[in-house]
Amino acid sequence: MLKKVQPQLGIWIVLCSLLGEKIATINPHTTLPKTLILVFISVLFMWLTIYLVNMRTHNGKLFTHTIKLTWLQKTFLIILSLFILLNLMNTIGGLISMSHATFKLILIATVTAVSAGIFEEYLTRGYLFNLAQRILNYYHITHSPLLIASLFNSLIFGSLHLMNYIFGDQALMATLQQVFYATCVGLLFSALRIATNTIYIGAILHFLFDWQIGITQGISALMPWSNVVLVYLPIAILSVLFIMTVDRQVRNQKMTLIQQ
């Protein structure tokens, strides 16, 4: 029965993630004492979110052991790693610019980036990934479970960025671009979760992607759609192809996915 999925635990995870990230989005004009208090509360919410998601998802593991990758899967990951390295180079540039900022602004940017990495990854690649698995298991759907779970959490992850337009000052077109590339990057993080058999690797990378002073502004700039599609669509396609090969590997080798 559906009672077995413990829906009350899922509600607490969603509330902790969304409320915790909201608290961690600190206004740069906030006084330093209030900023420190909000940082402390945010850290508590981060710890609670990690604890609850690990409880729900068998400490973030999909398999009892990390899967042995084929040469094709390694090739996909190498190409995806190049995209990750390019983004980390942007992070280095952001860190250089951060050297001229005040302590309070650096603290706010760091906490905001850490909260995005933890709350968003543990909610989507953690709880929602596991929720999709349990729904598929409940309805006895065994075809491409990893791909379906990845698409499920990535689409929700991308759609969550609509809040920047609904509740913020971000332009609609910039928000739609953000939804698109966040969905694509969500598939990348799903592939990483499957490859590493963990959630925290994606959370760390997510944090590094966002770690720059610009995150304190909370507004995404509008870019040419051609650039967005040319950069992020191939990432999504490669991630999907990787996940499909793992689904095939799971099916052929009769591997058992960990579910709770």
Token pair recorded at residue 125: 């690649």
CA pair distance 10, 14, nearest whole angstrom: 6
Token pair recorded at residue 171: 């332009």
Whole-model pTM: value is 0.93
CA pair distance 88, 102, nearest whole angstrom: 23
Q: What pLDDT band is residue 2 in, cutting at 50, 70 and 90?
A: very low
Q: Which helix (H) or strand (E) holds 243?
A: helix 225-252
Residue that the structure tokens 């799971």 belong to: 250
Phi, psi of 189 (to 5 degrees): -65, -30
Contacts of 141 (CB under 8 A, 6+ apart): 148
Q: Tell me the per-residue pLDDT of 32-66, one tens digit each, with 9 for 90 and over.
A: 999 999 999 999 999 999 999 999 999 999 998 88
* Helices (H) then strands (E): counts for the chain: 11, 0
Question: Which pLDDT does position 3 carry in this prediction?
Answer: 44
CA pair distance 63, 197, nearest whole angstrom: 7
